[in-house]
Structure 1
């Protein structure tokens, strides 16, 4: 059903009278956020390269003694470029092509984000690859792992960060050569000067059904890092960590002003929680939150089971997107599924 249902907001708008719809939106989304208008160049570029751009603004009272600090945050929800079942002669060729194709698409999106004035942008969890951790197969998926400091993805994004004066958060599958070739689920934080500020590793690992990710990596060892950037203090609460209020709390205790939640989560399993978890965290901790999910359904060559007695399958659900930003006053951007 998730793959067919576009969004709660569009369904409400379609079926409710305008006055009733406005009141329902007020209750669901809090204070109204303003929709941003983009230039014809941005709109044309997005249409030509087959992605959609949306923007919203949160309002705040102006102070008399301090100048306004306006920060534009970008969240990228994307799908893989090639199917995981694509026939290949050599798996390594496929791995390289999939990663290269994704990097090109993301470069295009970041280029457009720069034209929109974005200061900090974050990609979805493990954005350089299919979310293959459900398969519990080491090969070929571990070949997507790369160095956080000097891997090809980081080098590309360093150039883009410097070019556009933009902070970029890049969640990847990290191969840590410093500790016996260990794999981690890691977000690389790149400053607007192109410098790697550091890394934040996923600190809660699911071990349930298809999400038995400890086959690949264990809990991270970086704690609840907060990074001082040109545009503010940011933290990264990767995916499953959003289910733990104490996790969100610690980023606030450590001084975060914006906390990103790059994720990969599927319909039926988490949708009822998705729209409230990051919003609750923003309210409880007095910072902004950005919840980011991937989109699409990813089919894998080999069947796998979920340890639930049901038949084996080649996918583990539809990634429903629905990325949004929430503010400390409980207001939030509309949820859209592309």
Structure 2
């Protein structure tokens, strides 16, 4: 990373990280990360750089730093498993330096330039929650924030804090951004951390996405605006829309239980009813329950109204 867009991040690091550790921290922040590319052809040369999540050198560099600084690290990576399948993955590293596990992106977008179905597979690990010294955390990766049931399952599995690392652009989703993670925090009695990158990413080769738009070199502008939302509906101010930043928030996890005791959304959720209906709804021959009046009933009702109207008129004239 270089340029004025990163100055705010540099200042935050220099103010909060000991100088002896700063070089190592920068290496992790600026290291060999692989970002989503717009087509399989551009992605293919990177395959040889990828390893399984548990063994990738990029992840292993973070173990010692996590332990030394007593912090839990959520590390989004591009994972290739031993079968050669590509996954959008987040690895969670404990403050002890151990890998707690990984989670994979459950929902793969097929929207304009973000048609990730050409290279990623849908996640197959469900909704894991990671017990850390600082609370139970989960990672709802990027596009998964648009799916309320995705948030719900992390919450049902006990998550107190759900992180949502994202890379989304203003033209596509900015009107939704302040609402979705905040609503999820309220509905699921947990904290949510909505995280978005800033700036632009330029590709040497033009690409199209099958949406009728002209070939172009970039996705658009990533608008940042990261924030943390609480289960009572409150939230922090958002970070900058055009500069990197560091957001420090103190979370009182007791608030999760307090809001649960107040609203009881999980107790009143009627999940067994929805489970039955969803089990039917996913069948190919499902017929939705839609109540409609028949033509016979409508005709009879209209005829009855006319008779009633005539009776009222007769009654009026008789008086």
Q: TM-score, normalising length from structure 2?
A: 0.66
Does the CA-based 8 Å contact 1:145-1:172 persist in structure 2?
no
CA distance in 2, matches of 1:166, 1:270: 31
Q: How many residues align structurally?
A: 230
Deviations 1:217-240 (A, max 9, x none): 110111011111111101110001
2:174 is equivalent to residue 271 of structure 1: yes
Task: State the partner residue of 2:294.
Answer: none
CA distance in 1, matches of 2:91, 2:175: 29
State the structure with more CA Rg: 2
Runs of 4+ that moved beyond 2 A:
46-53, 133-147
Return closer, same or farther for 1:300/1:332 CA change in 2, 3 Å cut-off: same
Q: Please list, as runs of the form range in 1=range in 2, the aligned pairs for 1:282-321 lying within 5 A after superposition.
A: 282-321=185-224
Alignment partner for residue 86 of structure 2, among 183, 198, 209?
183
CA distance in 2, matches of 1:197, 1:258: 16
Q: Which runs of 5+ in 2 are unaligned?
A: 14-21, 244-319
Task: State the partner residue of 2:37.
Answer: 132
CA distance in 1, matches of 2:32, 2:224: 13
2:96 is equivalent to residue 168 of structure 1: no
Task: State the partner residue of 2:55.
Answer: 150
Alignment partner for residue 248 of structure 1, among 141, 145, 151?
151
Work out which structure has the larger RCO, using CA pairs closer than 8 Å and 6 or more positions apart in sequence.
1
Q: TM-score, normalising length from structure 1?
A: 0.63
2:38 is equivalent to residue 50 of structure 1: no
Task: State the partner residue of 1:323.
Answer: 226
Does the CA-based 8 Å contact 1:191-1:197 persist in structure 2?
yes
2:12 is equivalent to residue 107 of structure 1: no
Give the helix-richer structure, 1 or 2. Answer: 2
Q: Which runs of 5+ in 1 are unaligned?
A: 1-5, 7-45, 54-103, 111-122
CA distance in 2, matches of 1:263, 1:48: 20
Q: Secondary structure at the match of 2:171?
A: coil
